[in-house]
Amino acid sequence: MYILKNENAIYYEIGYSCDNGILIALENLKLFFTDSRYFEEAKEIVRNRGEVVEASRNLIDTAVEFLKKEGVKSLQFDPYEWSVAEFKKLSSLDIEFLPKPHLSKEKRIIKREQEIQYISTAVKYGRAGFQRFKDYLAVKGLGKKERELQFKMKTIIQQKGDLQLSFSPIVALNENTSKPHALPTDRRLSSGDLVLVDAGVKYKRYCSDRTETFMFQKTKFSSVKMTPKVQNIYDTVQKAHDEAIAKAKVGMKASEIDKIARTVIENAGFGKNFLHSTGHGVGLDIHEFPNISQSSDVVIEENMVFTIEPAIYIPNFMGVRIEDMVVMKKDGAKVL
């Protein structure tokens, strides 16, 4: 038995969530508490997946009263979901609250086939958005500021509002590409600039995530007309990306996949310039489990979905990141 507050955690359980809801899951019953603003819609959508309870807007008080009435003795909870004040009110009850960090993300680490279909569709929409953005750059991008390009990427990839963003896109030029989460500046796009774009969209609430790094040359794009130094960095990241995907297998630890990519970059002399993990899980949240990192002992299983995104960042000079999403299958990682 457990209690949830996070929107995506609740959505996973009953197919609906809102910004004011609490889910209590008992042995044979799931109760979703929300206020009158959402009650009617929640009832229509949740139906036989749980029971919807109309409460005051102070859901904590309502949940406390329910738990008292039912005589619940213990509940699991995710400490990352609750504020100190909220948990203080809950824990005033004579109930044993059992901390279970990332309770929902642990449940969601292996994706159902329907989830994989949704994620795959989100990835396809995202990829198409990248191509439309590059088409825009080729015709109208020259001279535009990073801020303008980031805003344009938002509108293009969302298909004029049909899709939601997985996160605020990154569009970085030249030396700004050396910052993994670069903020847009007033720098204008010129021929010969290095461009890094990181963006994704949601389909039926499931996220996509993709990064491309390329050279802008007036009306075309290239990864082969760079200086030898830049080309070497790009090729190293591409090799790390390709080898990690090719060698990833069910039964490996996540840290082993990270090591495959990291070793390529270290052997090229750029180990200190790979500033983050090789990847992360993606689903209802843009960052889920498994973490494809040096410290992760998670064993990779079939139908786990995650990114492969090795990178090299040279401060005040340039950065390259290449990112794709994969789903693990018995015969290896399949690029979505």
299 and 276 within one domain: yes
Same domain, 323 and 225: yes
Domain end, chosen from 86, 107, 128, is at 107
**Residue 81 and residue 149 share a domain:** no
Strand segments, DSSP code E, in 218-304 are 220-222, 279-281, 288-292
pLDDT exceeds 60 at position 225 = no
Q: Which of residues 107, 134, 167 is at a domain's end? A: 107
Same domain, residue pair 232 and 327 = yes
**CB 306 within 8 Å of CB 326:** yes
Burial of 236 (0-12, 13-18, 19+ CB in 10 A): buried
pLDDT band for 37, please (50, 70, 90 cuts): very high
For residue 90, give the CATH number of its domain.
3.40.350.10
Same domain assignment for residues 129 and 198: yes
- What is the reported pLDDT for 57? 73
Question: Residue 161 pLDDT more than 90?
Answer: no
pLDDT of res. 82 = 93
How much is the pLDDT for 16? Answer: 97
Residues 65 and 118 in one domain: no
- With beta carbons less than 8 A apart as the criterion, state whether 15 and 46 touch: yes
Give the whole-angstrom CA distance, residue 203 versus residue 13: 18
Q: What is the mean pLDDT of the chain?
A: 94
Mean pLDDT, range 63-81, rounded to an integer: 90
Structure confidence at residue 224 as a pLDDT band (50, 70, 90): very low
On whether both 266 and 305 belong to a single domain, the answer is yes
How much of the chain, in percent, has pLDDT values that exceed 90? 85
| CA 84 – CA 218 distance, rounded (Å) | 54
pLDDT digits (tens, 9 = 90+) for 179-207: 999 999 999 999 999 999 999 999 999 99
* Segment 84-103 mean pLDDT: 88
Q: Are residues 139 and 254 in the same domain?
A: yes
Q: Provide the CATH number for the domain around residue 122.
A: 3.90.230.10
Say yes or no: 75 and 197 in one domain: no
* Domain end residue (candidates: 107, 128, 153): 107
Q: Could you tell me where the DSSP H helices lie in 76-145?
A: 84-90, 103-107, 113-136
H/E stretch holding 326 reads strand 324-329
Looking at the structure, tell me whether residues 90 and 19 fall in a common domain.
Answer: yes
Q: Where are the beta strands (DSSP E) in 58-179?
A: 74-77, 96-99, 164-165, 170-173
Instruction: Characterise 23 by phi-psi region: left (phi > 0), alpha (psi -120 to 50), beta (else).
Output: beta
Judgement on whether residues 230 and 286 belong to the same structural domain of the protein: yes
Q: Is 6 left (phi over 0), alpha (psi -120 to 50) or beta?
A: beta
Flag whether the pTM goes above 0.85: yes
Per-residue pLDDT of 231-290, as tens digits, reads 999 999 999 999 999 999 999 999 999 999 999 999 999 999 999 999 999 999 999 999
Domain extent, residue 206, equals: 113-335
How many structural domains compose the chain?
A: 2
Do 117 and 101 belong to one domain? no
